[in-house]
Amino acid sequence: MTREPMSFGNHLMQSPAVAAVYERLWRPGFTRLFSLGGVGTREAHDALLADLAPAGSSRVLDVACGPGLYTRRLAAGLSDAGLAVGVDLSGPMLRRAAADNPAPQVAYVLAGAEDLPFSDAAFDVVVCLAALYLIPDPHRAVREMCRVAAPSGEVVVFTSLRTRLSSLPGVERLLAAGGYRVFGRDEVTGWLREAGWSRIEHRISGQGQFIRARVDHGR
């Protein structure tokens, strides 16, 4: 696959310095930015992860996992037969993941979200947190996430949202210049529905949206 030139945002994600401070400073700051104009965005984020809490032999994929902070958290309830895989395109991020967030049930893989190196239906839970907006072809990444998720499982996304704030003159253009995309309210859910994941919980808070999608088996 030919890749577009790397955006400024993704250049930052390739920096060992950013990777070093990501978990302690960068991500908490970003979560605060997401909370602008919203009530309880941080709480909604924590609640999402607490609700997910994969257990037993579940297979979990964390797409664009950064330094693995959530990969390890998602692996916490897994048994010896479970597995959580974090995938990212940034070597420095994955080196931090291996150093800071190792766990017996966790593995990290260097790969692009648009071409996930896994077979169809390989995972029970596929998440992509605070990253879809940086992925050059997010539609393709969502299709890939749906492909590798088992139809009995779920696909979970936390990402950006077009709001009154981001619609102020010049704001979206400025964000786009940094490689940061703002999604319309029905854009990502539309891609999920298109892939057959039509049982959707969609929560909006501040500048972010939380999406949980399952396949509707008519039950």
For ligand SAM, the closer CB: 69 or 215: 69
Closest CB to ligand SAM: residue number? 66
Element of type H or E holding 139:
helix 138-148
Residue 60 C-beta: closest distance to ligand SAM, Å: 13
For ligand SAM, the closer CB: 108 or 215: 108
| Cβ atoms within 10 Å of 175's Cβ, excluding its own | 16
For ligand SAM, the closer CB: 16 or 151: 16
Residue 169 C-beta: closest distance to ligand SAM, Å: 26
Element of type H or E holding 74:
helix 69-75
Residue 10 C-beta: closest distance to ligand SAM, Å: 5
For ligand SAM, the closer CB: 65 or 215: 65
Here the contacts of 69-74 (C-beta below 8 Å, separation 24 or greater) are 69/22, 69/23, 69/27, 69/100, 69/101, 70/127, 70/129, 71/97, 71/101, 71/106, 71/108, 72/101, 72/102, 72/103, 72/106, 73/49, 74/49, 74/125, 74/127
> Which of 212, 183, 186 lies closest to 199 in space, CA to CA?
212
Residue 45 to residue 106: CA distance in whole angstroms: 21
Residue 9 C-beta: closest distance to ligand SAM, Å: 8
Residue 191 C-beta: closest distance to ligand SAM, Å: 15
Residue 117 C-beta: closest distance to ligand SAM, Å: 11
Question: Which residues contact ligand SAM (rule: CB under 6 A)?
Answer: 10, 13, 27, 64-66, 70, 88-90, 93, 112-114, 129-131, 134-136
Residue 121 to residue 146: CA distance in whole angstroms: 8
For ligand SAM, the closer CB: 64 or 85: 64
Residue 148 to residue 131: CA distance in whole angstroms: 18
For ligand SAM, the closer CB: 83 or 141: 141
